[in-house]
Amino acid sequence: MDNNHKLHVLDDKPKENCGVIGIYSLSGTNVIPMAIDALRALQHRGQEAWGIAIPNKPPLKRLGLVSAASSEFKAIAEEYSSPCVIGHVRYSTMGRSSLENAQPLKVKDLCVAHNGTIANVQELSNLVGGCSFTPQNASDTLVAAQRLVSLISEKGQMGKALSVLKNEMVGSYCFTFISDDNSVYAARDPKGFRPMVLGHKESDDTYIVASESSAVSAVGAQMQRNVTPGELIRLSKDGIETEMFSDDPQRAHCSFEFTYFAHPTSNMEGTNIYVARKNIGRFLAKKFPIKDADLVIPVPDSARPAALGYAQELGVSFDEGLLKDRYSKKGPLRSFIEPHQTDRVEINRWIIPIREIIDGKHVVVIDDSLVRGTSSKAIIKALRRAGARKISMVITYPPIKFPCYAGIDFPSQEELATFSNGKDMSQEETIDMVRKSIGADFLGYNDAENLAAAVGIPVDSMCFTCASGNYESLGITPEFKSREEIKGET
């Protein structure tokens, strides 16, 4: 193992912004331990903060990982003992990283947890008085919650309030709510940008709604189905009730969930994520059949299934040419959701190339995305130092050229590797510019049609806005801003 060449590289991955849960036990079981387990199973979706909320109590919120509070779990389970709860793990795309902005948030008698991004938050804030939103000390979730509570007081029912709010809000949202009358609600936006599933645990008659089925499995429940886009679910002493607050038939499932964000054990829109990623690799091998390759290696860890599928389809050896040091302080963490730059550097420097595997070989490196290009460049340098004869890089996702306003944090165009600084470039010219920038001998990107076919979802039912620049599914013409403007850190 070539220990002298650990990678010192800034994080180059896009960021998800949260996971949510809602749990209700019809048998009256204390579901707080279950909530903690479910949030730990969603930890890959956000590592900045986490929290839970029960009726008639201020939400409990903590910064950092759920497991960091393990010494408190017993006391939390006793103090917050309840048959119903909502919970949240957070990565911030809007508002600073602070305990104040951690979720769930409470507005009057309603607590809310949110996965997604509301793109027109300033406009929405004008509907609730215009003074409640400042990027430094509030979030899009708070503004949406304030508007929803206002609409509930007008309309009398959650479903009617959401049917109005959906026309006022631009963006993506999966919400869980808990009210002081002991009801848990879950709502998924009409386009289905972000995922949400419903599960049931028979032994104690407990329903769970969660961002991913991995959280349902983690608590011993069975996934029943996906929450339908535009659906509102209510869990209460009366059991489960459901209504549609939108009948929009058009879908825009986030394509990045399938290639990168979602846990490989999860099932999403009828597809297992691991199987989908392996299939993406197979389809990529048909698109880029690199005949003289000696070896296929993944960038750890999420590109592994795609690399395996690629190697199997091509009939080329698959091996681990890059390994994470799992025993270093930060080795096991997913760097893309670490909030501070020093932490991201700390994680990524512990990816180590294995000279004995790489030396003298034409290596095909499979990665799930190429955003800024910094980590790709460092990986290619390290592989060359470890003796690679030739390096081809194949990316499971199309070239990212535009910001996302539906819950993924790469808001600034000038940060992207594909940024052409005003030059009018063809797709081929853009790819060649990126290839030269990262130092690869060959660079191949997936395309939207190929990715959708591999996943088994119609391409027009998936969101590829960050690759196409077509924001019709969101209904906006965005004004592109810098990262500092978006995050309120100027």
Residues 275 and 245 in one domain: no
Instruction: Name the burial class of residue 156, with classes exposed (0-12), middle (13-18) and buried (19+) by CB atoms within 10 angstroms of its CB.
Output: exposed
Residues 288 and 240 in one domain: no
Residues 118 and 208 in one domain: yes
CA 428/CA 283 separation, integer angstroms: 20
Give me the mean pLDDT over the 45-71 stretch.
96
Give me the mean pLDDT over the 207-219 stretch.
98
Annotated binding residue at 302? yes
Residues 311 and 239 in one domain: no
Q: Is residue 340 part of a domain?
A: no
Residue with tokens 């579901």: 31
Model pTM score: 0.88
Q: Is residue 263 part of a domain?
A: no
CA 36/CA 208 separation, integer angstroms: 13
Cα distances (angstroms) measured from residue 415 to each of 105, 339, 374, 401, 465: 31, 17, 10, 10, 17
Residues 421 and 379 in one domain: yes
Q: Is residue 375 part of a domain?
A: yes
> Residue 416 has what pLDDT?
87
Residues 279 and 233 in one domain: no
For residue range 316-327, list pLDDT tens digits in order.
Answer: 999 999 987 665
Coil vs helix vs strand at 239? strand
Domain that holds residue 472: 271-327+348-487
Q: Is residue 8 part of a domain?
A: no
Residues 291 and 184 in one domain: no
Residues 287 and 184 in one domain: no
Query: Which among 218, 249, 280 is the end of a domain?
Result: 249
For residue range 267-302, list pLDDT tens digits in order.
Answer: 999 999 999 999 999 999 999 999 899 999 999 888
Residues 229 and 288 in one domain: no
Q: Are 295 and 317 in contact (CB under 8 A)?
A: yes
Q: Is residue 342 part of a domain?
A: no
Percent of the chain, pLDDT > 70?
84
> Residue 135 has what pLDDT?
40
Cα distances (angstroms) measured from residue 251 to each of 171, 172, 248, 269: 13, 12, 8, 11
> Residue 327 has what pLDDT?
54
Is residue 174 flagged as an active site residue?
no
Count of structural domains, the chain: 2
> Residue 344 has what pLDDT?
41
Give me the CATH number covering residue 19.
3.60.20.10
CA 94/CA 143 separation, integer angstroms: 11
For residue range 30-39, list pLDDT tens digits in order.
Answer: 999 999 999 9
Strand order of the β-sheet with 390-395 is 295-298, 362-367, 390-395, 442-445
DSSP label at residue 472: T
Annotated binding residue at 132? no
391 membership: H or E segment, kind and range: strand 390-395
Residues 122 and 57 in one domain: yes
Residues 291 and 218 in one domain: no
> Residue 454 has what pLDDT?
98
For residue range 410-434, list pLDDT tens digits in order.
Answer: 647 888 889 887 788 899 999 999 9
Annotated binding residue at 432? no
